[in-house]
Structure 1
Amino acid sequence: LAEAIGAHGAHLPQRLAETAPAVRAAHPAWRVTAAAHDAAAARAAELAGVEALVVSPVFPSNSPSAGTPLGVEGLAVIAASVALPVYALGGVNAKTADALVGAGVYGLAGIEGFGA
């Protein structure tokens, strides 16, 4: 899909993070990121060569695919386990964002929370 629309990168689900080298080989100029839901997956994605991680879910989320929330502490452990920019996703909104200060994240990601 990313190639079909002329995108400049792709975000891979955790289960496909290991394909990052193939994506990079096919599209050397692309930015490639991946999802991670635990520290082991974050480290594996880093070893696969992704440029950044979207870690989720941090807080309870309305997303049907959201699992058990990691919490701020869980997010901080994951962020500390890699040398990549980490974006927090899952239940992130105006009410929860302040709790992420000091958790080692590079930024925030959201689906519906930024209007809350």
Structure 2
Amino acid sequence: MRLVLAALLTMTAGLNAAHAATQQQCEALLKPVEEKVAGFQKMRGDKPTPQDCARSSELIKLYTSYQKQADGMNCAFAYVGGQKIGGASERADLLADIKQAHNEKCR
């Protein structure tokens, strides 16, 4: 029984490692989102323009798509010195914050 359990644990660990994306794959997936954020940064003042709100909506859609892919690839939220920092829960928190800011300013 111990041999079977050890074999199952080894197989599971191998499968998890096979599904984990590399840092480069995860960073490449994030690049379009970073470019969109860099072009937008944040809404201007308390009264954003309709164009600001439209760009914010686009950012939410783009980040939602990224979030699903990154979660599926088990990407870290960030890499600092090659070390994984956070993951799916941090992406979910960030998306919730982005949506809340959008709703407060654009609705």
Bigger RCO (CA 8 Å, 6+ sep): 2
Greater strand content: 1
Superposition TM-score, scaled by structure 1 size: 0.22
Compare CA radii of gyration and give the structure with the larger one. 2
Q: Which has the higher helix share?
A: 2
Give the TM-score normalised by structure 2.
0.24
